[in-house]
Structure 1
Amino acid sequence: MSGDLPEFYFRVRENGAAVFRVDTENRQRRIEMDQIAVVNVKNGEIKSQGNRDLSHDEMEAIRAWMEQRIAILAERDIDDIRRAVDYMNLTTQWAQAKATDAQLDEVTDDLLMAMHDLRSVLVRKKADRLLRGDGS
């Protein structure tokens, strides 16, 4: 492990993270982590732990982490959608070239409903953007 440890450690949770201050300046020279806050990236909430008041530097570090985390999650969302497009193409190829009648009977209605729902939302959202003049 590197000798240069970060000042803060963020244990990722479902909607954010638990924030720990990393301490190696103790008699045993062990790595100690003191939880200082819990953050929620969905609503931007930062809750200090215990009776502690977060310092300006702690708040700055937490806000910087939250900005970076939100950007990472947004990138993942787009990547997931691009993968969905790939899966749709692979599903089309499977239906055309490999699927048996029994397999198609098993999934056709579910696929058609999901595709209809997606198409309806996409068409409506595109129309809204065109009416506002900010999309193509």
Structure 2
Amino acid sequence: MSVDLPEYYFRIRENGAFVFRVDTENRQRRIEMDQIAAVNIKNGEIKPQGGRELSTEDMRVIEEWMAERIALLAKRDIDDIHRAIDYLNLTAHWAQTRGTDDQLENITDALLLAMHDLRTVLVRKKADRLMKERDGA
């Protein structure tokens, strides 16, 4: 195992992370992880754990991690949408070339409703953006 471990470890959870301080400077030469905070990236909350106060360095590292995590999740969201576009194209090709009547009957209504819902949202959002542009110009 590498001797150059980070000073902090972030255990990812649904809305953020638990923050641990990593300690290898102990008599047993074991890796110890002491939970120092819980972070919620949805609301920006940082809760110290175990009755401790977070140092300026703790806060700096946590806030930097939060900013990086938010950027990563936003990037993943867009990547997922581009992947969905690919899946829609692959689905169209499958429906046209290989889908059997039974398979198409099985998925058509659900897919048409999902696509209609998506189209409605996209059209409404596009109209909102166009109206903002027009009102701003």
Match of 2:3 in 1: 3
Q: How many angstroms apart in 2 are the aligned matches of 1:42 and 1:17?
A: 11
What is the Cα deviation at residue 3 of structure 1?
Answer: 1.4
What is the Cα deviation at residue 2 of structure 1?
Answer: 1.6
Q: How many angstroms apart in 2 are the aligned matches of 1:50 and 1:33?
A: 13
Pairs within 5 Å for 1:85-100: 85-100=85-100
Q: Which runs of 4+ in 1 moved over 2 A?
A: none
Q: How many angstroms apart in 1 are the aligned matches of 2:103 and 2:11?
A: 43
Q: Report Cα offsets for 1:26-50 as digits up to 9, x if no partner.
A: 1111110000000011111100001
| Structure-2-length-normalised TM-score | 0.96
Q: Report Cα offsets for 1:70-110 as digits up to 9, x if no partner.
A: 01100100010000000000000010000111111111100
Q: How many angstroms apart in 2 are the aligned matches of 1:66 and 1:59?
A: 10
Q: Report Cα offsets for 1:98-134 as digits up to 9, x if no partner.
A: 0111111111100110000000000000010011118
Q: How many angstroms apart in 1 are the aligned matches of 2:127 and 2:17?
A: 38
Matched, 1:34 2:26: no
Pairs within 5 Å for 1:85-124: 85-124=85-124
Match of 2:128 in 1: 128
Which segments of 5 or more consecutive residues in structure 2 lack a partner in the other structure?
none
Match of 1:16 in 2: 16
Q: How many angstroms apart in 1 are the aligned matches of 2:129 and 2:10?
A: 38
Q: How many pairs does the alignment contain? A: 134
Q: How many angstroms apart in 2 are the aligned matches of 1:106 and 1:22?
A: 53
RMSD: 0.9
Secondary structure in 1 aligned to 2:122? helix
**Identical pairs, percent:** 71
What is the Cα deviation at residue 21 of structure 1?
Answer: 0.3
| Structure-1-length-normalised TM-score | 0.96
Match of 1:50 in 2: 50
